[in-house]
Amino acid sequence: MQTADSTTTSTILSHFPERIQAALRAYGAEINLPPEAVVQLAIGYFLESADIAPGLSNQDSPNGTASPDANSEILTHLSSPMQKGIGQYATEYEFPPEFVIELAVTFLLDPEASSFEDCQVGVQREQVYLLQQYSKHHQAEAA
């Protein structure tokens, strides 16, 4: 999986509370990926769990037009297929796209939580393993 540059990293992470940013960095360190890649994996896994194929490839350049709410700044830093997956989930469940991203990241950090506010942010071995397996699976698909 290709990842974004450090400017995009800061932009994506800046959308999350500091304690969530720290947790995403910790997961990135555990699986040797930048934190924005952890965000993308979290979103991809969450959407696939809901039977929505998000597409994790950054080969599609983000263009901000794939989502129903293209004004959401964080969405512009994601691939078009991922934007479409978020848009599909948002439409299906009548949530704003930003909340879908929050749900996805929360689902990674604390599967029992429903938002950042009630999210426990310790690094969990099961979640590290899940991310590693999900990442390997999608790297194999891209090859």
Residue 118's contacts (CB-CB under 8 Å, 6 or more residues apart) are 110
In a domain, 1, yes or no: no
Domain count within the chain: 1
Q: Domain range holding 60?
A: 6-142
Q: Helix, strand or coil for residue 141?
A: helix
The H-or-E segment that residue 21 falls in is helix 18-31
Average pLDDT, the chain: 81
DSSP-assigned states of every residue in 25-89: HHHHHHHTS-HHHHHHHHHHHHHHHTT------TTSPP-S-SSTTTT-GGGGGS-HHHHHHHHHH
pLDDT at 140: 66
In a domain, 14, yes or no: yes
Percent residues over pLDDT 90 in the chain: 46
In a domain, 101, yes or no: yes
In this predicted model, what pLDDT tens digit does every residue of 83-132 receive, in sequence order? Answer: 999 999 999 999 999 999 999 999 999 989 988 999 888 888 888 888 88
In a domain, 85, yes or no: yes
pLDDT at 11: 74
In this predicted model, what pLDDT tens digit does every residue of 18-76 receive, in sequence order? Answer: 999 999 999 999 999 999 999 999 999 999 999 887 765 444 434 333 334 444 788 88
pTM of the model: 0.78
